Amino acid sequence: MEQPQIELTPWPEAEAELYRAAGYWTGDVLGSILSRGAQAFGDRTAVIAGERSWTYGDLNARADQLASGLNTLGITPGSKVVVQLPNIGEFIEVIFALFRLGAAPIMALPTHRYAEISYFCEFADAVAYIAPAKSGGFDYRDIGKKLKDEGLVRQVIIAGDAGDFVPLDGLYQAPGAAPEIDPSAIALLQLSGGTTGMSKLIPRTHDDYLYSVRASAEICGLSPQTVYLAVLPAAHNFPLSSPGVLGVLYAGGTVVLSESGAPDIAFPLIARHRVTMTAMVPPLALAWMTACDNLKKSGAPPDLSSLQVLQVGGAKFTEEAARRVTPVLGCKLQQVFGMAEGLVNYTRLDDDIDTVVTTQGRPISPADEVRIVDEDDQPVAPGATGLLLTRGPYTIRGYFKAAEHNAKSFTADGFYRTGDVVRLTDAGYLVVEGRAKDQINRGGEKVAADELENHLLAHPLVHDAAVVAMPDPYLGERTCAYVIPQNHAAAPEQRPRPQDLLKFLRERDLAVFKIPDRIEFIDAFPKTRLGKVDKKALRQMIAEKIAPPT
């Protein structure tokens, strides 16, 4: 018999009680960040985006008004809404309006396309899709139109020129009575990097998410003086909650939203708003250091004097690059190793420099349980490298409606199998050594090998496909697809060409970062002793092929 599909796997009652008794779960809801903020910091600037700014009072009032308008469209407690907004003020208004209603935003990224968005809408039975008219040269109304045509959502709500859709700016109405929100209910749905099939949806509760935000704000020393520049898409777990936009609003600081992290845009914003902190992935940190060096050489150094902390996470930051941060940018580095499923590790602001540049930090909470095991789930020797398992007060116990997958992704006693290969230092810090999950980490953007393989297999001339990571000095990894053509015995001119496959993938409307960087044709895959595709051998083959001659 099919297992019932559960939206939220609860923590066992005994653990939940411990988390409450320890004060981790307070019973507050995410919406309280703004309602309290309006009382405590009413006239202070909460958000700046372009030439617009919002005080805490404004933002709180706008979120209430928008909640009222969204409610008239049938968005009620328990509703799911796919939100695909870039770093604009409306993003923050929308998520808080949804929190107020007890409706859960599904945190889509601006780079997602119809393949991903339609899947989220259908899988979660979303009632609405909220997007900008245009951003980054892409027209999101095209996605809205297809969703409507396919009957996948009832409402398409557009920020900006809405055309035939519901204009977001018409939804700010006199606030109604706010429903009572259960703090143990789903507050939002984050997205997993995925290993099999499409991204899994990650149900985060008010209790658990608010704890991770609060504790992160404290670890990162946030205060009303903090000015945080959001350059990564704010929907992602890192810039949203580690401590990110929500942490800064909790602490009474100011969030500066930027739709781009490019140095020529971000550096002037830092100088103008006296930004104290920002968060980014390793390739962007490299780009900032290069740009800063070049500007210094040209005699026009950027004014980054206000910047105190640069957080880097999402993918491994090499020690060599980490060592350059303070000398080049003049601020502290904080490494962040986190995951949308929960566990987040930080190097601490008062750690010695060697800890900061050689480790990926230690867990947020004394209640985070970390286990490092071998392939048989047996603990490795202290200090040895192994697979990271974790459970704790803000790590999920199961994905949204994914019983079968959950059985593989969690141990019987509730530990999440991160798929990361790590070791623990004597001081209790984690060092990320590699990855066991079948995923490519393209500079922080995660590509599930299996998902891309399935797209390739849909091509009539593809017999089989295996997607692996290849090393890249800038992104850390790029994506290489090994393909066995259908007619691999045929003459080369009868085989598909790489450009044909790439065109085919683009036409399938998937996120651009998932399009492989390279396609290699092969007659047969190397196999392991158990007869599975030997991806390690494929990774080695491509690494050797692209290695610069020595």
Interface residue list for ligand J2J (CB under 6 A): 193, 237-238, 241-242, 313-316, 335-340, 344, 360, 418, 420, 432, 435, 441, 446
Say if CB 301 and CB 271 are below 8 A apart: no
| DSSP assignment letter at 509 | T
Q: Which two tokens stand for residue 342?
A: 């929960």
Measured from the CB atom, is 344 or 465 closer to ligand J2J?
Answer: 344
- Measured from the CB atom, is 396 or 510 closer to ligand J2J? 396
Length of the chain: 550
Inter-CA distances, 340 with 186, 286, 343, Å = 14, 24, 8
Residue with Cβ nearer ligand J2J (302 or 338): 338
Smallest gap, in angstroms, from Cβ of residue 549 to ligand J2J?
29
Minimum Å gap between C-beta 373 and ligand J2J is 16
Give the integer Cα–Cα distance in Å for 395 and 11: 9
Shortest distance, CB of residue 110 to ligand J2J, whole angstroms? Answer: 15
Residue 42: CB minimum distance to ligand J2J, A: 29
**What is the C-alpha separation between 27 and 75, in angstroms, rounded?**
23
* CB neighbour list of residue 153: distance below 8 Å, 6 or more residues apart: 82, 121, 126, 127, 128, 129, 147
Residue 316 or residue 423: which is nearer to ligand J2J going by CB? 316
Q: Which is nearer to ligand J2J, 272 or 408 (CB)?
A: 408
CB of 418 to ligand J2J, least distance (A): 5
DSSP H/E element including 542:
helix 535-546
Shortest separation between residue 175's beta carbon and ligand J2J, angstroms: 32
Closest to ligand J2J by CB, 107 vs 159, is: 107
Q: How far apart are CA 113 and CA 311, in angstroms?
A: 28
Residue least distant from ligand J2J (Cβ): 338
CA 540 – CA 527 distance, rounded (Å):
13
Residue closer to ligand J2J, measured from CB, 69 or 443: 443
Find all residues with CB under 8 Å of 61, minimum gap 6, and list them.
Answer: 38, 175
Provide, rounded to whole angstroms, the least separation between the CB of residue 62 and ligand J2J.
Answer: 26
Q: Which is nearer to ligand J2J, 7 or 438 (CB)?
A: 438
Find all residues with CB under 8 Å of 30, minimum gap 6, and list them. 96, 99, 187, 188, 206, 209, 210, 246
Select 64 or 477, whichever has its Cβ closest to ligand J2J.
477
- Smallest distance from ligand J2J to CB 23, Å: 22
Q: Considering the complex, what minimum distance in angstroms separates the CB of residue 107 from ligand J2J? A: 11
End-to-end CA gap in the chain = 59
**Least distance (Å) between residue 139 CB and ligand J2J:** 26
Q: How far apart are CA 186 and CA 205, in angstroms?
A: 4
Closer by beta carbon to ligand J2J, 102 or else 361: 361
CA angle 124–444–441, rounded 5-degree value: 90
3-class DSSP state of 52: strand
User: Which among 95, 121, 328, 334 is positioned nearest to 238, based on CA atoms?
Assistant: 334
